[in-house]
Amino acid sequence: MRVDHAVSPWPLREPFCVSSSRGNRPKQFNANLNRRWWGRLLFDRRGQFLKPKELVRIEESKLRKIVRYAYSKVPLYRRRFDEAHVKPESIRSLDDLAKVPFTVKTDLRDNYPLGLLAVPANRLYSLHASSGTTGKPIVVAYTRGDLLRWATLVGRALDTTGVRKGDIIQNMYGYGLFTGGLGIHYGARAIGATIVPASSGNTKKQLMLMKDLRTTVVTCTPSYMVYLIEASKAEGYDAKTDFALRIGIFGAEPWSEEVRKRIQDAFGLRAHDIFGMSELYGPGVGIECEQQNGLHIWQDEFITETINPNTGEVVEPGKEGELVFTMLSREAMPLLRYRSRDLSTIYEEECACGRYHNRIKRIKGRSDDMLIIGGVNVFPSQVEHVLMNIRDVGDQYQIIVSHKELDRLAVKVEVPTNRLNDTTFAKKIRDDLFAVLSIHAEVELVELGTLPRSEVGKALRVVDLRPK
Ligand code: AMP
Ligand code: ZN
């Protein structure tokens, strides 16, 4: 602890998360159980209910600190500020934020693995890596303080959904380099709920444990939960009566209101959207409260802006744009004005739950998920929205884009056997898609159970066969 205080501009005793400052630094960190380590974490609900004025005061005072810290510790930031002729001391309030240069994904890739560290490597407690599908992943680093802050934020997120000590959380996010598994794990530790580190895959065993352990909370990707609807049926379970689920926390990929309804109806639970990304600690950045109407972003740890992805100009709250995040107390790897590529809308209205942390709408997708088909922009989430609104359309679909003289969009949809040759039904799907996308899609009806399922990791719903 003494060591942390000596080099960190943030005392570990954050206003609302960490309690004692006595005792020696633990010799090692063990994710499963280290009483001394977790004993320091005293969960306090007040952080969720900070008033708007307090939030702005915290944001601004942390902003001033983190900008000076990043400038003095990380050569990339020093270079960027100098090139833009911005003095760190000139960033004093939220209005000054727009002067701060953006940080982008390639900055993290180009500095692979640890070129953006602000602390000596021997102060790191954990390293994770993003699920990059091509090339080098993005490596993210955490000091002990970062881990405690992350745990507290995920704890807050779980608490916001209604998870309490005594709940049994079956955590079906993958454990490993992906931040989903361990992030939820740490959060459960922070609030004292019981965690079952089931990790991803192994569906039969998941269902067996879910029933036998009387699991009350599940965490996984929404596409996996959709898959569990049919898998539980196939294994002979009655999803409503055999399980004791009351809360589901789903994220890591875009999903729609219609999928929420399908999951809630099947399992009789309340489904919450959770948002995060490796670069911002991991999960727990944003969470839906019981209102299920937008995700609160923990404003005392992240400043969120939306920008026009083409011009970089800030767009006002209420308008859609690319989310840009400034982490306010990341010690190992400060991140200023990080362009996430995720598209959403910020809104600042008060929430009926009593929390003032700003909300964002559910993520529409990443700007790089956007398909340009014959000049028309199409987001896979729009296709899902249309399909899941049609009765008799199964839970699984696939989007195939190809090029033969012109770009072509085909959508494969699972339907019950009696609908397989129903041309009127196929036409209805085509018309509904056209009404939203403004392009014609070929619709292919296929039998239930024939499209690929994602049991591990994020769903892959788009096949783009066009030459690159
Ligand atoms: P990773 O760093 O591998 O955890 O991936 C982070 C990315 O997953 C984000 O930038 C989003 O594109 C996506 N993501 C995470 N949570 C959600 C969510 N709740 N809804 C939509 N997309 C999400
Ligand atoms: Zn709320």
Coil/strand/helix, residue 114: coil
137-190 pLDDT tens trace: 899 999 999 999 999 999 999 999 999 999 999 999 999 999 999 999 999 999
Measure 277 CA to ligand 1 centroid, in angstroms.
5
Angle, helices 380-388 vs 257-267, to 10°: value is: 50
User: What is the rounded distance in angstroms from the CA atom of residue 25 to the CA atom of residue 27?
Assistant: 6
User: What is the rounded distance in angstroms from the CA atom of residue 102 to the CA atom of residue 1?
Assistant: 33
Nearest Cα residue to atom 4 of ligand 1: 277
User: What is the rounded distance in angstroms from the CA atom of residue 395 to the CA atom of residue 229?
Assistant: 9
CA distances from 182 to 329, 346, 376 (A): 20, 28, 39
The torsion angles phi and psi of 374, rounded to 5 degrees, stand at 55, 35
Single-letter code of the amino acid located at 393: V
Coil/strand/helix, residue 434: helix
Nearest ligand 1 atom to alpha carbon 138:
2
Per-residue tokens: 57: 């005061």
Residues with CB in 5 Å of ion ligand 2: 289, 291, 351, 353, 355
| 113 preceded by a cis bond (ω within 30 of 0) | yes
Per-residue tokens: 82: 């100098």
Q: What are the b/e assignments for 130-152, b being 16+ CB within 10 Å?
A: bbeeeeebbbbbbbbbbbbbbbb
Instruction: Supply the pTM of this predicted model.
Output: 0.89
The torsion angles phi and psi of 23, rounded to 5 degrees, stand at 95, 165
Instruction: Give me the half-sphere count of Cα atoms (radius 13 Å) on the Cβ side of residue 2.
Output: 2
Nearest Cα residue to atom 5 of ligand 1: 277
Q: Which of 387, 448, 385 is nearest to 415 (CA)?
A: 448
The answer for residues whose C-beta is within 8 angstroms of residue 83's C-beta and 6 or more apart is 101
Nearest ligand to the CA atom of 48: 2
pLDDT per residue, tens digit, the chain (468 aa), is: 333 333 444 444 433 333 333 444 433 333 333 444 454 455 788 899 999 999 999 999 999 999 999 999 999 999 999 999 999 999 999 999 999 999 999 999 899 999 999 999 999 999 999 866 567 889 999 999 999 999 999 999 999 999 999 999 999 999 999 999 999 999 999 999 999 999 999 999 999 999 999 999 999 999 999 999 999 999 999 999 999 999 999 999 999 999 999 999 999 999 999 999 999 999 999 999 999 999 999 999 999 999 999 999 999 999 999 999 999 999 999 999 999 999 999 999 999 999 999 999 999 998 888 999 999 999 999 999 999 999 999 999 999 999 999 999 999 999 999 999 999 999 999 999 999 999 999 999 999 999 999 888 889 899 999 998
User: What is the rounded distance in angstroms from the CA atom of residue 232 to the CA atom of residue 204?
Assistant: 8
| 388, 262 Cβ separation under 8 angstroms | yes
Measure 197 CA to ligand 1 centroid, in angstroms.
21
User: What is the rounded distance in angstroms from the CA atom of residue 257 to the CA atom of residue 159?
Assistant: 22
Measure 358 CA to ligand 2 centroid, in angstroms.
9
Q: Which of 218, 212, 214, 163 is nearest to 189 (CA)?
A: 163
Nearest Cα residue to atom 7 of ligand 1: 277
**Summary count for the chain: helices (H), strands (E):** 12, 21
Tell how far CA 363 is from the center of its chain.
9
Measure 276 CA to ligand 1 centroid, in angstroms.
6
Measure 308 CA to ligand 2 centroid, in angstroms.
26
Instruction: Give me the half-sphere count of Cα atoms (radius 13 Å) on the Cβ side of residue 401.
Output: 22
- Residue written as tokens 């990707």? 221
Measure 79 CA to ligand 2 centroid, in angstroms.
40
Coil/strand/helix, residue 320: strand
Nearest ligand 1 atom to alpha carbon 340:
10
Mutate to test the pocket of ligand 1, among 342, 364, 368 (most ligand atoms within 8 A of CB): 342
Residues with CB under 6 A from ligand 1: 130-131, 179, 251-254, 273-278, 340, 342, 363, 366
DSSP element (H, E) containing 156: helix 144-161
